[in-house]
Chain A
Amino acid sequence: MSSATRATEVSTGWRPAEVREVVSETPSAATLVLDVPGWPGHRAGQHVDLRLTAEDGYQATRSYSIASAPEDVHVAITVERLDDGEVSPYLVEVARPGDLLELRGPVGGWFVWRAADGGPLFLVAGGSGLVPLMAMLRHRARTGSDAEARLLLSARSEEDVLYADELRELVEPAITYTRFPPAGWNGYARRVDRAMLAEAGLPPGDRPRVFVCGPTGFVEGVARELVALGHDPSRIRTERFGATGG
């Protein structure tokens, strides 16, 4: 073993994580509750890298946002299945309690919110971009934070909404259904636009901390409109996820 190889192995920080529970969230997403011995704790908004190794040694690494609050006993991630993905179909459909995964993290230190940072908070989620924002809402609830919070969620249909019941206990969500609004729905049924951000959000004058997470096109469109509305770009934090892996 060369010294370079040894250094890499020491510094990468992979550790075993055991699947404790798999909770089906929607037809295409599941939450994995994990036991991670030695977990150092995390901040809401951070993520973990998961690594799967095939029998032939082939490895695939993917990044998943942490859904649980720092105060929760177990680390939970929510995974959306991408049909042509290498990792997500396994995590959503095959993983069972007792399975061992390799995990590294928590990682990331920019797209994070601590109750001590204060509010108000304006959270904008596209699809499973809700996951890190849910960690923030859970953290806000667990700490008894009095930071005002608004959430605007873009979902394709009602059955695609993650954590639907719990979400309504944590915040009064504004939801737009972009593909299949429920029968009789008289709320938003279009892509997020400037008027919706103005109506469902907080005014720029309140200087909210804005967190936007979703697919790349969604995030960039929303960020552009927020700036056009007069939000301070330095208070807008964005996280893009894409179809690069799954």
Chain B
Amino acid sequence: MDELRLDGNAAAGLLAEVFAAEATAALVRCASCGAEGAVATVQVYAHAPGTVLRCPGCDAVIMRFARIRGELVADLRGIGRLSF
């Protein structure tokens, strides 16, 4: 299963659809545990339907993206803070 876990670098193209500034170098704070690090360092699971970004510290979902009937839907509730 290890090899199914990637990191935020793998979501760079997807994040570029959502954010105007380059997001993998941005600092994200986990809303759940408060840990902070570059978006590039979070865990990414891209094999599920959609893409899930999880906190490497506590496993909480930080961001979730799905493409539903051609629309990209983002659930960003797990972000405590995002600084570019």
Contact = CB atoms under 8 A, between A and B. Distances in A.
B13 A105 contact: yes
Contacts of A12: 17
Contacts of A24: none
B3 A216 contact: yes
Contacts of A8: 17, 70-72
Given A4-B71, A8-B70, A110 B8 contact: yes
A85 interface: no
Given A49-B13, A110-B25, A240 B71 contact: no
Most chain B CB within 10 A, of A13, A47, A215, A239, is at A239
Contact of A104 (B16, B38, B39): B16
Interface string B50-84: 00000000000000000000111000000000000
A11 interface: yes
**Interface residue range, chain B:** 20 to 34
Given A8-B72, A108-B40, A216-B2, A244 B17 contact: no
Interface in A201-246: 215-217, 220, 237-245
Contact of B7 (A13, A109, A217, A239): A239
B31 interface: no
Contacts of A220: 2
B71 A108 contact: no
Given A8-B17, A49-B13, A108-B40, A238 B7 contact: yes
Contacts of A239: 7, 9, 40
Contact of A109 (B4, B5, B25): B25
Interface in B1-50: 2-10, 12-13, 15-17, 22, 24-25, 38-41, 46-47
B23 to A, nearest CB: 8
Interface SS of chain A: mixed
A1 to B, nearest CB: 10
B71 to A, nearest CB: 5
B65 to A, nearest CB: 12
Interface string A92-110: 0000000000001101111
A47 B15 CA distance: 13
Interface of A: 2, 4-5, 8, 11-13, 47-49, 61, 63, 104-105, 107-111, 215-217, 220, 237-245
27 contacts: A2-B71, A4-B71, A5-B70, A5-B71, A11-B17, A47-B9, A47-B12, A107-B13, A108-B12, A108-B22, A109-B25, A110-B9, A110-B38, A110-B39, A111-B24, A215-B3, A217-B2, A238-B41, A239-B9, A240-B10, A241-B6, A242-B5, A242-B6, A243-B4, A244-B3, A244-B47, A245-B46
Interface of B: 2-10, 12-13, 15-17, 22, 24-25, 38-41, 46-47, 70-72
Per CB-CB distance, the 10 closest pairs between chain A and chain B, nearest first, are A110-B40, A109-B22, A49-B13, A107-B12, A108-B12, A109-B25, A110-B25, A242-B3, A244-B47, A107-B13
